[in-house]
Structure 1
Amino acid sequence: LNGSGTGTYNWSPSATLSCITCVSPVANPTVTTTYTLDVTNSCGTASDSILVTINALLSVSASSTNVSCFGMCDGSVTANPTGGLSPYSYLWNPGGITSQSILNLCSGTYTVTITDASGCNTNSTAIVTQPAMFSATATSSAVSCNAFCNGTATATPSGGTSPYTYSWNNGQISQTVAALCPDSYTVAITDNNGCNTSNTVSVSATLPIPITVTTTPTTCGSLNGTATANISGGGAVPPFNVLWNTGDTSMSISGRAAGIYRVNVKDGNGCFSFADALITNSNGPVVATNLVTDVSCFGLSNGAIDINITGSSPFTFSWSNGSTTEDISGLAYGPYEVVVSDASACSATKSVFVNQPFAPLSATTSAVNSSCPGANGSTSVSVSGGTAPYTYYWSSGVSAATASGLASGTYSITVTDSSGCSLSDMAAVSDSAGPVVITDTISAVDCGSTGLLVLNPQNASSIQSYQWNTGSTAQNLSGVTPGNYGVVITDTNGCKSALVVPVKPALPPLKPICLLTVDSLTQQNFMAWEKPLSSFISGFNIYRESSQNGLFQHVGFVPFSSPSSFYDSVSNPNDRWAKYRISMTDVCGMEGPLSLEHKTIHLAVLSPNLTTKTLVWDEYVGYTFTNYHIFRKNSSAAAWMLIDSVPAAVTSYSDTTFTFGDTLYYNVEVSFSGGCSNLSLKTPQPMKSNLNSSRSNIYRVGQDPTPVINTDVDKVTLVYPNPSNGLFTIDMTNNVSGYASLKVFNMLGEEVYEAPSLKGDRQTINLSKQPQGVYYLQISTSEKIITKKIVVE
């Protein structure tokens, strides 16, 4: 306190003063106090007062917002001062930041020192925590049978913040998913903070029933070929239920013409498998494999088969993929069967397998950091799949698996295998003292959409620049599409960190088949499905199972603008069943997972005696149903008649109510509730109305009463040249007697040609006015119906 004037001083209150008569005493109040000074002299007494304010004690509390996801740097701290005299100054440690708050912090301990305007200071500490590392394990149970789809998979998250949401790449969204076929499945898990993790699990298949088939050839023009199925080893459990496509239920069949026969086997566990038996004419043409060109890159269709034929030309060819030429190309991995017929209508059969690399070409990159300053980092790549040896080319100019002497930055690598298959990837080299930068977890980008890449630097104020491989210099990158993105971040010291951020494409969802049936008009396999409401779907891929169990080959593509249905012109439902799966592709070129399989019903009829027709069929696979409905009609009646129904577990029926002497036709049907949606199916043109049932092939039993299967492998009648420009010669030498009529149908089942009465052993027909394409020639006699596929070029 400072007084002025002459006289005697008297300060009050005296309790907190060093001196009450001094001109300038020292006051030490503990609370705000008003001091009064009285100065007395000869003139009298003068008074004055002064207020001494005691400010509140300076204190500070530091608060924090925790990191949302493990490993990210999106936490924050804030200093909250009280007391003292403002304004305040702040100093955070570590980092040296002088603001009241700091954003984009990684987990850690942060201490702030605060100083007020009076020079008083104090400090406080805040802790930024993060959730436990967010990860997931995935477990699975194998399918009970090799061809079944009853596997399961379960995702178990660890860390993160519950509750969690799940998204599997087959479209299911529960923690445990079921009805899985043997395959790999990826689950993406999101926690309550929006953090993501993923894992992949494989649903394994059990060992298939090991079926080996032996055959003996038949003499051309005779029916003395045999085939025998043998089962040994593997996971097969007796007893075995055997069914050939001829209707026979024993392990062996005999009295057979040349052709391809299929045997189905179901074991005691209900597991199913099949094998094909190829019977050849002993005095027919000889087929030898000259050259097989395997698929060069996994998943491509550039294989080829070159065969040599010796025998009596001209030859006709019928391949399992529908080709009618001697040699075929543009082939995917898998088996291909061919039936070759010579000028005498004698046949040979052969199966040829086209291989591919065991796995797609795959690469994993790694890097060793460099010093700052310096150029002593390195990048490496590890390669698997494809066909070794591999060649390498780094963007740094190095042609080896490892590139060294590298400064910080991103480096691209191109790997090429010995077949010319290649892929590209990236690796990032950072300075060991470079800035710490974390990227937000990036979700897969849907077709037609774009994503956002967000960088979270630990000390944002120390960042000098960002440089993306796209040319952008922004901190965050928007409008990203699937691909690898590299970024180099430089701090104020000139040290750099580099990151490679992969953005994956989201796959189209699984698309189920609605139904699969044998079309009654065309006797071709017909399948239908419902279209999704999307403008980014380009179409649907169709896959049919080959002669190898579980191996599906691509057989067609249906554009999104077309009706959502498919006629398989190559299928022969009168000869054997077929299985199908479909997938969706989007306009970005990505293909979704394959659907669950659907399988047609194949019907055969045996005549054990004159009063009984024994119907046997293999089961439908695709949807749940309760009964098989059995239909029959005869040559004198136009309408089909439902003669009986049997439970879904029964696959045979004995008919004793038919009229002896009639030509009989049989058909087996299953139906399901709901059907397919006509609204989505009929765009852009109407579909057939019967879309709620699946029917078998139509089996005809003649008066003899010898059953006949309409099949392309029936080579008793020879049609040549095939393909042709429209002129075909039909040679019926050595055929059965009693030819009645000839008809030709196009792919829509429309009759385009008819010869109501055939005479002689040779007939010529002219289809040159018909459009190019595939047609079916049907010869009907009193004993049988023979169907031939012909091609007009």
Structure 2
Amino acid sequence: MKFFTTLSFLLLLFSLSAQVNCPNVSAQVLGASCAGASDGIINISVTDGVAPYSFQWNTGTTTQNIAGLSPGGYSVTVTDSLGCVAQFPAVNTIEMPLLIPDATGQSLIVPMVVDQFAADAVVTSGDDFEICVTMEHSWLRDLAIGLRCPDGTKIILHDHPGNVGGEVFMGEPIDNDNDVAIPGTGYQYCWKSTSISGTILQNIKGGLQTLPAGTYSAYESFDNFIGCPLNGTWSLEIEDTWGNDNGFVFEWHLLINDNNVELLTVRDSEVDCADCQENFHCMQWLRDTISHNVDLYDWVEKANWNGRTVFLASHGNSDDGGYTSFFDCSGNLFQTFYAGFVQTYFPNPPFVTFEALTERQFIWSDAVVLADCGAALSVENTSTTGVSCFGENDGMACAAALGGLPPYTFLWEDGNGFTLEGECIANIPAGVYSLTAIDANQVQTESVAVEIQHPNEIVINIQLMPDSENQSCVPFINISGGVAPFSISWTPEVVTDEILVSVEDANGCTSEATATCVVNGIHEIAGLEYLSLSPNPTDGLFYFTAGFSTYKTVELKVRNVTGQVVLSREVSGKSLEERLDLGGQSGGMYFVEMISEGKRVVEKLVLVK
């Protein structure tokens, strides 16, 4: 009976152990309080698994929470009492380099598990992304590179439609390794929506042999990921569509909100540490918050908490109905105590207790005039949003001021001398704006130039070449400016007269252009006995001669390949001889058109330069 009881206990223990999940880890990260400070904090919460837990950070620290951190990336390994291990954030252990399948119809798919975001977090902006791949490959033109998010949505980072183009290398591949693929030297290629370099395809020009490492625009918009879950499996997908070459992937990483998803990122601050610790009561956020809300706070203290400078702004007494708010150097509100209770705000570090504060120092009360602060008025933190399309008026600019005495007035003068007022101005065209800040004492700053940028204008170049029967034209269309890829359409489909070409770029910007097809009419001019252009080809000067059986009045027109008239005159007679000069035109194909009595004849002329 005892044996049976012991065995039952062991089976029960095994059953219970098998049902226990491994540790589930989450983190709260607090960045540096001011520029260059080593006072970042990461606090870890663990659920599931079986306590107690052990912790091993990539810094060598073995405590659950770590403080005094410099800006950078951190990760932790959590092990429960049963030996179940959780790495946070998740680390992808695929061994590199990976060979890209060569024209097998299969893509190289390299997954990455992301787990550091809140459970319901989704993508809200395509500007939050950057993906970087270290790789090499023999021919760029036969690669399709994409990124897939956890719900299956995929965007194309690079494509080479039609597999046309030169033999451009990525990195330094070993191109003569025959049957045994040998890794070469990889270059790092990144894609980011805010890149100003254009797509890879737009950078393949001239005799380029090797694509430079760098950050490019994606072939498709990162905005396609909006609404996709942040947590889950993200995949890099590369397809090699042609054979007889090879390539390797050495490493790839994904950044979301400037954070490497394989590390917890402690961010640096833009706040100057000296300003924070010595002149905090003169900083803009405190002046705006306190000096204009005298009933909100009565006094401010500076203190030290866990190696960080914090500020206590209080009204009344926190023990008898008053409250105290805790701020950091950037003006972030940590939490507020209401008569002994606490309400916590982003970024939600551990609760601060009054007992944990050291070096407390009174720095301000409503008896101190903030105008006595010595900080000079200056314009800070200008930001702009460029216009969406060339010629549009949907740009935006914002600014902040520091020093002086609030409230501030911001004046923006455009290139035409027109002035707008406000901290932010919207629905404005591209151009350079002269910004001036003025404080409550009418002290003003020197003007600051703020530029609203625009994409290049979409320029459509149309060449119309007569078909073999000289009855219609074949359009050849070239697009410059705008943002690729482009959607191109034209009407009518069969071009015998004027063609209308419409183009829409990746930003939704549109443009139209027309050209005129020049071909022979169905009926020639009655009584035409001879017609010649000499010399043909010509270097500019040529003679037009024609003869008729009766007296005729003739309109002569010379058109370029877009149908534009570059020379025109009217002549009369039975025998015509006209000296014409195209010396000021570019070399190429031209059409000499003779019109009389509603009929016409067209002859081709080649201008050689």
TM-score scaled by structure 2?
0.25
Larger fraction in helix: 2
Question: If you compute each CA radius of gyration, which structure gives the higher value, 1 or 2?
Answer: 1
Greater RCO, 1 or 2 (C-alpha within 8 Å, sep 6+):
2
